[in-house]
Structure 1
């Protein structure tokens, strides 16, 4: 399973996600760090991503080359991350048919009613449980097609 983690600014959230995914799944998951800037990509690579790419074109190109996209809710909002996430990136990500797992962390002027404000580690634990379930579905689907 190839998973893209998208982050910007300092890459702190992506770093936490990749670190936890790597510890949980070891080398049984292929992690692609997609940063809106080089600092974010570097932080995610240091955390254990297999590959990394930076910028608008890299994100737009790679999101349809993976099985899963992970990031904060802001990756589908134009001009989020202090303007680092361009409208073209947001459109490409939200329009992609690739499954997206979005963490409801957003520092902009958006509030999602009904979402509880949890610390990032709680969201990442829920993310890992969801990915375990998806991996089982993915394995079953692959076996059915072979």
Structure 2
């Protein structure tokens, strides 16, 4: 199973996701770090991602190949992350047939009604648990 972790800006969320996914899933699945910038990609690779690439084309090319895509909710919104998410990136992620596990961070100008305000580590852990359930349901 190919799990794409998408992050931008400083890459901290992606780094945490990669670390926890590797810890939870081991090496049975491939984790690809897709950064909107090289810094984010580099941090995710240092955290243990199996491979990585940066920029618009990397996300546009790899989003359709992924089985699961995980990142902040901004990865489906054009111009999110202070403009790092281009319309082509957001379109590629949204159009991908991959299961999308999105972390509800309202710094992207998106507020999800009904989501309780929790600290970021809570949402990151919840995302990893959700991915574990998806993997287990697929018997992988």
Query: With structure 1 as the length reference, what TM-score do the two structures score?
Result: 0.90
Q: Report the alpha carbon displacement of residue 50 of structure 1 after superposing the two structures with TM.
A: 0.2
Q: Distance in 1 between matches of 2:24 and 2:109?
A: 33
Q: Distance in 2 between matches of 1:112 and 1:48?
A: 30
Structure 2 residue 19 is matched with structure 1 residue 19: yes
Q: Distance in 2 between matches of 1:109 and 1:129?
A: 26
Number of matched pairs: 140
Structure 2 residue 48 is matched with structure 1 residue 43: no
Contact 2:101 2:127 in 1 (8 A): yes
The gaps in structure 1 that reach 5 residues or longer are: 141-146
The gaps in structure 2 that reach 5 residues or longer are: none
Q: Report the alpha carbon displacement of residue 18 of structure 1 after superposing the two structures with TM.
A: 0.5
Map of 1:93 onto structure 2: 93
Q: Report the alpha carbon displacement of residue 106 of structure 1 after superposing the two structures with TM.
A: 3.0
CA RMSD of aligned residues (A): 1.2
Query: With structure 2 as the length reference, what TM-score do the two structures score?
Result: 0.94
Instruction: Say which is worse superposed, 45-54 or 130-139, in terms of deviation.
Output: 130-139
* Superposed counterparts of 1:51-62, under 5 Å: 51-62=51-62
Q: Distance in 2 between matches of 1:15 and 1:106?
A: 19
Contact 1:7 1:36 in 2 (8 A): yes
| Rg (Cα) greater in structure | 1
Q: Report the alpha carbon displacement of residue 31 of structure 1 after superposing the two structures with TM.
A: 0.5
